[in-house]
Amino acid sequence: MHLHCLCFLLLLHLLLPLPLTATFSIAKPGCPTRCGNLEIPFPFGLGSNCSMDSPFDIYCNTSTNPPTPYIPLPINMSEVVEISGEHIRVKSPVSGGFCNMSGVSAPDDFETPFRYSLSFLSTPYTLSDANQLTAFGCDDLATVAVQGGAATAEYTGGCLAYCPEAGLSRNGSCPGNGCCQPNNIRWKIHKNFLFVMGPAIIVL
């Protein structure tokens, strides 16, 4: 029996509203310049009054070794991996649904699509087109839509994770068997997304 497990793995590249030019290459005077291994340039900042505005505040978790920088986003407090040029790269949690690693499906749960919203409307950020959405699963359909309001959504892209013979791809690659990657999603022109994953009806 095929595994029924579908996950969205999304590493966010946040597109800043302004480039980090030479003017913004160092921290404000009197402010910390690093959190762990990451240098924190202005307009970002560590501590009170060190950033250009509250959306650029960086929080440093000193209980880890090395200390870990975090930034508050609509999804959660996300770990900052890199700040470079116009981009800030953060780690996003894995959003998954319909996972049954024993291979025994639960029909009542699996028949209901899983919906996950992601909005940057209240922030100065947009998603970069460098993003790649990857879905893992068997006979599952992943779609991305742009939300224009409470009851409207414009279809943007999607893909089918299909397992004709073997189960999930486990080697980190995405050859098409057990995983899929929708192409040509224009992330940065939108700020409000709806991810939907659910069982696909496959006609052979």
Q: Looking at residue 188, what is its pLDDT?
A: 78
CA distance linking residue 33 with residue 40, whole number of Å:
5
pLDDT in tens, the chain (204 residues): 445 455 555 667 777 776 665 555 677 888 999 999 999 988 899 977 899 888 889 999 999 999 999 998 776 778 899 988 778 888 866 555 545 544 444 444 445 667 777 888 888 888 888 887 777 777 777 888 887 654 566 777 888 877 765 544 555 567 667 788 887 787 877 888 887 777 665 443
Contacts of 118 (CB under 8 A, 6+ apart): 74, 75, 192, 193, 194, 195
Please indicate, yes or no, whether the overall pTM of this predicted structure exceeds 0.75.
Answer: no
Helix (H) or strand (E) run with residue 179 in it: strand 179-180
The structure tokens listed for 46 are 């560590």
CA distance linking residue 12 with residue 146, whole number of Å:
17
CB-based burial label for 67 (10 Å; 0-12, 13-18, 19+): middle
DSSP class of residue 22 equals G
- Provide the residue type at 181 as one letter: Q
* Spatial contact of 132 and 21, defined as CB atoms under 8 Å apart: no
Q: Looking at residue 137, what is its pLDDT?
A: 74
Please list the residues that pair with 88 across neighbouring strands. 14, 83
CA distance linking residue 25 with residue 71, whole number of Å:
18
Q: What are phi and psi of 54, to 5 degrees?
A: -60, -35
Report cis status (omega within 30 of 0) of the bond before 66: yes
